[in-house]
Amino acid sequence: MPMPDYYLLIVVLLLLFAIGDLIVGVSNDAVNFLNSAIGSKAAPRKVIMWVASIGIFAGAAFSGGMMEVARKGIFNPSFFVFAEVMIIFVAVMLTDIVLLDVFNTFGLPTSTTVSLVFELLGASVAIGLVKIIQNGHSLALLANYINASNVTSIVSGIFLSVLFAFVFGAVVQYFSRLLFTFNFKYKLPAAAIIWSGAALSVMTYFLFIKGIKGAAFISADFAVLVNSNAGLLIGCSFAGWVLLLTVMHLFAINVLRVVVLFGTFSLAMAFAGNDLVNFIGVPMAGYEAWRSWLASGADANVYNMQVLSGAVKPNTIFLTLAGLVMTFTLWFSRKARTVTNTEVSLGRQEEGIEKFEPNILARMLVRLSWFTGVRAKQLIPASWFNKAEARFTPPQSDAQTANNGINAPAFDLVRASVNLTVASALIALGTSYKLPLSTTYVTFIVAMASSLADGAWGRDSAVYRVSGVLHVIGGWFATALIAFSVSAIFAVLIYQLGGWALAALILLAAGLIAGSFLHHQTRETENERIQQLLANNNSLKDKELARDTALSIANTLATVKQAYQLALEGLKTESETQLKKTKKIVKTLKQQNKEFKVKLLHALQRIEEEDAEAGSVFLLVYDLEQDISQSIMHIIKSCREHVENMHTPLQAQQIQQLEYLQELLNNYLLLIIEGFKNYNFNTLQQVLQQKQALFENLENMLALQINGIKQHQYNATNSHLFFNILLETKDIIAVAARFMKLYNRLHLAYDNPQQKHRLIAQTTTKG
């Protein structure tokens, strides 16, 4: 039997896990109340953070009576003893920290409520099954161990909330845009005040029934009074807000900014006041269980946990400390920014570099919606449709402003206010009817629905945005599945192996978190580099862009040269280890291509009008970058598959030919790389001569290989590999020379302004 010190250690671990869970939980849930304000840039980021921080701290300090989900909402504590409950709690916290940290690393918002519910369910079911099997009881008794009705209610409520969030988010945004258009700054001040007053009154009601629900200073009678007089409360607050907003408008204060900031505060306060149970509810329940067991003096394997069935107000000191941790995390967590950026990028009004790759389902949905839209358009009178369409078209000046600044808002204040108002209204409505909702699911789906209704998903971006939404929704299902299964496995391991399993799982969790931290840091470094590229290319002329892209080409050719050498060395020595090193090279090449694409597309949007004709040259350069990257990747893939499949190695004559070819290619690429680094293309004739010599050597090698096949010197697999290497090498040689010719002509065009148009035209048409 474990000693009392063992359970004291578990309690300490649970309290430490609470801090970790607060950090990863807030990092994920921050998107719920930050995305609208940050996406619309309703205020400077520091102001938004202060508003959210005050809301979080107030919600945490005033919250209370929210322990039931962790204590008795999912499992029946009277069917478990103290030792078993502590195992369940430890398994739940370990799973929750690792799971949420993984989602944060990849920037995917998920529901901390769903993760907690299914972790508690998985661990309690696992322990219940073990007890039933050990005691030889019927599996039908498992129903006694869990509150199946609560679980069903939570899951069904979440699915319904997603449906309602999408419908209401799309409808409200559509009519809001019809009313305000994109010129709301200059039109309809009265309508803006009335809309803002209605939005703020809804949020006020939301704040009363959700934000301060269960607060220690709020009596049960007051809560009943609020619910029974909802209409009066909303009406009075509407009148008060309209009066205040009218005064603000007279002082040139943008009333929509007030809506967005107040909504941010309300959601932040509601999040801290109610979702706090997802982070500290389990540790607090474990602490209460330990105190009760310690006072009883009973055996840990005998003492029944009926005590957890009673309602307990959490300690105010713990809640205040939790509020401080949450506030600190909100300010300093880089992963919170990653999750927020995912949602903001999926809903942004303008097109640009997309985060998600399209998939089959996304393409099908986009095609179906387009087909439906075409059919619906035929049913609407053309005059109506054209008038509505005009109100959804941003003014040209605004579009240009958005394109010319990388710090432009992702969407405007109208959409931001709709997001917050609809989300608050749905959460308030669900709470008033005692329906369990996921704040994350509601706020995310509302934001995506409003983006769709606002025309933010155009034909060039819809498939990427839909794919991103499907990724997030798929992550929600994965949350439930992973939470249930991993928590169950952890619980069984600790139950069977005790402290050794607990220590091993803690080390495993620490390793996974460290790995995700490094992975996230790498991704952040890449993103920061891209943002720096955007900042540096904010106002380039085509000549400056030519010099800048020349350095990118030099880096690409240097990477190709290194990859070619590693691939051939691994092939010659049949070294899988050597060939695996090419994975890092391929990753570097892909990152270089991505940065080049971002830099190029961003710069082309900002290139001066008189230099716009050079844009086709740089697009051709990007196309060539893709070609040379694909060629070297194909060589790497062919070499790796040949060695991994244990095919017949190359013969001495073939190796000798490839070594000679590699030497010639190295000299050739070095000559071109130096030219691009120094932006000096006087060596073009020398490059073309080396190109011709390389082509002649390739032709000789191909002839020798064909002759060897006729004499049965080489088998089919061996010959196929050799031909692949030679043909892809030929493409690399040709593309490298094409780079040199392109930039030589471009350089001549800049030195001869009178012939610039003709030379640039030649650049895009000649080989």
Lowest-pLDDT range of 6-15, 426-435, 466-475, 512-521: 426-435
Tokens of 83: 């030792």
Domain count, the chain: 2
Choose one of 527, 549, 574: the last residue of a domain: 527
| pLDDT, position 127 | 92
482 & 560 share domain: no
The 10s digit of each residue's pLDDT in 218-266 is: 666 666 776 677 778 888 889 999 999 998 888 888 888 999 999 899 8
Residue 483 lies inside a defined structural domain of this protein: yes
Q: Is the pLDDT reported for residue 514 higher than 60? A: yes
Give the pLDDT band of residue 617 (cuts 50, 70, 90).
low
- Does 143 fall in a domain? yes
Classified as helix, coil or strand, 212 is coil
- With a pLDDT cut of 70, the percent of the chain lying above it is 81
Q: State the average pLDDT over residues 104-111.
A: 85
Degrees (nearest 5) of the Cα angle 495, 501, 502?
90
Q: What is the pLDDT of residues 682-708, one digit of tens each?
A: 888 898 999 999 999 888 888 888 888
Give the tens place of pLDDT for each residue, 356-394. Answer: 778 888 888 888 888 887 777 777 777 777 777 777 777
271-277: average pLDDT? 72
322 pLDDT tier (thresholds 50, 70, 90): confident
Instruction: Examine the pLDDT at 581 and tell me if it is beyond 70.
Output: yes
With respect to residue 377, please indicate whether it lies within any of the assigned structural domains.
no
For residues 306 and 413, membership in a common domain is answered with yes
Mean pLDDT of 538-562: 73
**Mean pLDDT computed over 603-627:** 63
What pLDDT does residue 344 have?
Answer: 83
Asked if residue 386 is part of any domain, the answer here is no
Do 113 and 261 fall within a single domain? yes
- If you average pLDDT over residues 109-134, what whole number do you get? 88
pLDDT at position 711 is 79
Among 507, 527, 547, the domain boundary falls at 527
Which of 8, 722, 21, 37 is CA-nearest to residue 415? 37
More confident call, 432 vs 446: 446
Residue 736: give its domain's CATH number.
Answer: 1.20.58.220
Range of the domain at 330: 4-349+394-456+467-527
Residues 483 and 614 in one domain: no
Question: Residue 600: is its pLDDT beyond 50?
Answer: yes
**552 close to 599: Cβ distance less than 8 angstroms:** yes
Using pLDDT thresholds of 50, 70 and 90, give the confidence band for residue 91: very high
**pLDDT tens for each residue of 602-611:** 655 555 444 4
CA separation for the pair 532, 529 (Å, rounded) = 5
Are 516 and 546 in the same domain? no
Residue 374 forms part of a structural domain = no
pLDDT by residue (tens digit) across 738-757?
Answer: 888 888 877 666 555 544 44
* Most distant pair of Cα atoms in the chain: their distance: 98
Q: Which of 188-202, 379-393, 627-641, 712-726 has the lowest mean pLDDT?
A: 379-393
Compute the mean pLDDT over every residue in the chain, rounded to the nearest whole number.
80
Average pLDDT over residues 53-59: 85
Q: Is residue 725 part of a domain?
A: yes
- The last residue of one of the domains, among 500, 527, 554, is 527
Question: In this structure, is residue 607 part of a structural domain?
Answer: yes
Q: 184, 414 in Cβ contact below 8 A? A: yes
Which of residues 313 and 308 earns the better pLDDT score? 308
Tokens representing residue 34 in the block: 């930050």
Residues 515 and 551 in one domain: no
Report, in angstroms and rounded to the nearest whole number, the Rg of the chain calculated over CA atoms.
32
Report the predicted TM-score, pTM, of the whole model to 2 decimal places.
0.75
SS3 at position 251: coil
Q: What's the CA gap between 361 and 339, in Å, rounded?
A: 23
616 and 723 assigned to the same domain: yes
pLDDT at 540: 44
Closest to 70 (Cα-Cα) out of 17, 12, 24, 29: 17
Q: Does a structural domain hold residue 485?
A: yes
The three-state (H, E, C) secondary structure of 3-61, written as one string? CHHHHHHHHHHHHHHHHHHHHHHHHHHHHHHHHHHHHHCCCCHHHHHHHHHHHHHHHHH
Distance between CA atoms of residues 491 and 123, nearest Å: 5
> Please, are residues 334 and 520 in contact by the beta-carbon 8 Å criterion?
yes
The band of 320, judged by pLDDT with boundaries at 50, 70 and 90, is confident
Query: Among the listed ranges 94-98, 157-161, 324-328, which one has the minimum average pLDDT value?
Result: 157-161
Averaged pLDDT for residues 600-623: 60
pLDDT at 386: 76
In the chain, pLDDT over 90 holds for what percent of residues?
Answer: 10
pLDDT at 71 over 60: no
Same domain, 601 and 499: no
510 and 641 assigned to the same domain: no
Shared domain for 141 and 62, answered yes or no, is yes
Q: For 755-766, how does the pLDDT look when each residue is reduced to its tens digit (9 = 90+)?
A: 444 444 444 444
Examine the pLDDT at 87 and tell me if it is beyond 80.
Answer: yes
Top-confidence residue, 299 or 530? 299
The pLDDT tens digits of the residues spanning 638-664 come to: 888 888 888 888 888 888 888 888 899
280, two tokens: 């500290």
Query: At residue 157, does pLDDT exceed 60?
Result: yes
Average pLDDT over residues 702-716: 82
In the predicted structure, residue 118 carries a pLDDT above the cut 80: yes
Query: Which uninterrupted H or E stretch holds 311?
Result: none
Closest CA to 336 of 35, 642, 686, 114: 35
Measure Cα distances from 169 to 425, 449, 670 in Å: 11, 5, 57
Query: Is 685 found in the same domain as 640?
Result: yes
Q: Do 572 and 490 have their domain in common?
A: no
Structure token pair of residue 371: 């087909």
d(CA 111, CA 96): 11
Say what the pLDDT of residue 506 is: 92
Residue-wise pLDDT tens digits, 1-51: 455 578 889 989 998 998 888 888 888 887 788 888 898 888 898 999 999
Separation CA 468–CA 454 (nearest Å): 17
pLDDT category of residue 115 using cuts at 50, 70 and 90 = confident
